[in-house]
Amino acid sequence: MKKITSIIALLALGTASIFAREVTISVGVGESWKGRHGPQFAIWLEDTEGNYISTLYATKKASKKSWIFAPKEGRPESLPVWYHASKQDPRKGKEAKKANAALELDAVTSATPKGGIVFNSEIPDSKCLIKAEFNVSFDYNEFYTKENSTDNGQPSLVYAAVISESESEEVKLAYTGTGSLDGSDGKIYTDTQGLTTATSIVKLTTVSFPKE
């Protein structure tokens, strides 16, 4: 029985690799990228029904919850859409790490790049949705102040694009809204009132398909 189960598992892995497409994802630096606090961000996939598939990239602080001076509750407001989509526990501590272990984020996690990033990944060979969420801590302005917006300042910004099954041309992610200001939910809010420097954290995020 164990041998049969192993064979089935190997066949499943082989089938999965056949129906995966290699892509190159590029994140371009915006004017507000190189501030005192580097941006935290995550890029992930969802199916056409909005169900989480996998994370393609995440910055270390956001993934490890290694926030300096953060409370035990962590910083759920930093990347709330990603945290809720992937059903992560944003808290600091061993219990949260254990709960998040199944997501296997270590392989796609690194420190915030200073000059943008270009990396290769794989996506399903079917229609899917790619999302990217960016945030800079303490990004205050006249509308989002220390008094009304916790450590965030301006909320996270979310970009997204649909990738069709037969897509071969470069896909550009478009702005879709902001994350929850306090991290209490994973909704995307379309109100752009009060946003200033947050809109120029990233210049452009694209998905391209290497030519065979």
Between 5 and 44, the higher pLDDT residue? 44
The predicted structure's pLDDT at residue 6? 33
Answer yes or no: is pLDDT of 167 > 50.
Answer: yes
Between 10 and 123, the higher pLDDT residue? 123
The predicted structure's pLDDT at residue 19? 58
Write the pLDDT tens digit of every residue in 9-42. 333 334 344 458 999 999 999 999 987 778 999 9
Q: What percent of the chain has pLDDT over 70?
A: 91
Most confident of 3-7, 8-12, 27-31, 147-151: 27-31
The arithmetic mean of pLDDT across residues 84-97, rounded, is 88
24 and 119 in contact (C-beta within 8 Å)? Answer: yes
The predicted structure's pLDDT at residue 72? 83
SS (HEC) of the chain: CHHHHHHHHHHHHHHHHHCEEEEEEEEEECCCCCCCCCCEEEEEEECCCCCEEEEEEEEHHHHHCCCCCCCCCCCCCCCHHHHHHCCCCCCCCHHHHHHHHHHCCHHHEECCCECEEEEEEEEECCCEEEEEEEECCCECCCCCCCCCCCCCECCCEEEEEEECCCCCCCEECEEEEECCCCCCCCCCECCCCCCCHHHHCEEEEEEECCCC
Confidence label for 117 from pLDDT (cuts 50, 70 and 90): very high
The region of weakest confidence among 89-103, 144-158, 165-179 is 89-103
Whether this prediction's pTM lies above 0.85 is answered by yes
